[in-house]
Amino acid sequence: VQLVESGGGLVQPGGSLTLSCAYSGFTVDGYAIGWFRQAPGQEREGVSCISVSDETTMYTDPVKGRFTVSSDNAKSTVYLQMNNLKPEDTAVYYCAAEADLSCIKVDAHYRWDRNIANDFGSWGQGTQVTVSS
């Protein structure tokens, strides 16, 4: 399993950015692809999840209504469209993958204790997003 994030950068508050996660080395059916972020001195937190085979999605509370996750199976890529960015969105963003996992299950886990990073076993190297004027 290989995951490579790209698309990070510097953006002003209120701006938009689209991150990409190119995946390879596995058959995506039955996999969940998650987006996470980690700010300096803080724990890694969940952002979004997509079950690529049926495009089921979930979003965590801080990003709901502003971020959109999607997939392009032909390009083996998952995207995270981020709109109305805020300074508190500044973090390193990671994508992660796990077999035999549904985003419905991830969402249920998130509603229970917010710590969904442990649901995923394969991770990319991360891409930096900085929101600042």
Residue 26 has pLDDT above 90, yes or no: no
Specify the pLDDT at position 113. 84
Integer Cα distance of 57 and 79 in angstroms: 12
Element (H, E) at 64: none
Question: What sign has the CA pseudo-torsion 41, 19, 73, 70?
Answer: positive
Specify the pLDDT at position 71. 93
DSSP category for residue 45: E
| Confidence band for 6, pLDDT divided at 50, 70 and 90 | very high
User: 74-93, pLDDT tens digit by residue?
Assistant: 999 999 999 999 999 999 99
Specify the pLDDT at position 17. 98
Strand ranges across the sheet with 67-72: 2-6, 17-24, 77-82, 67-72
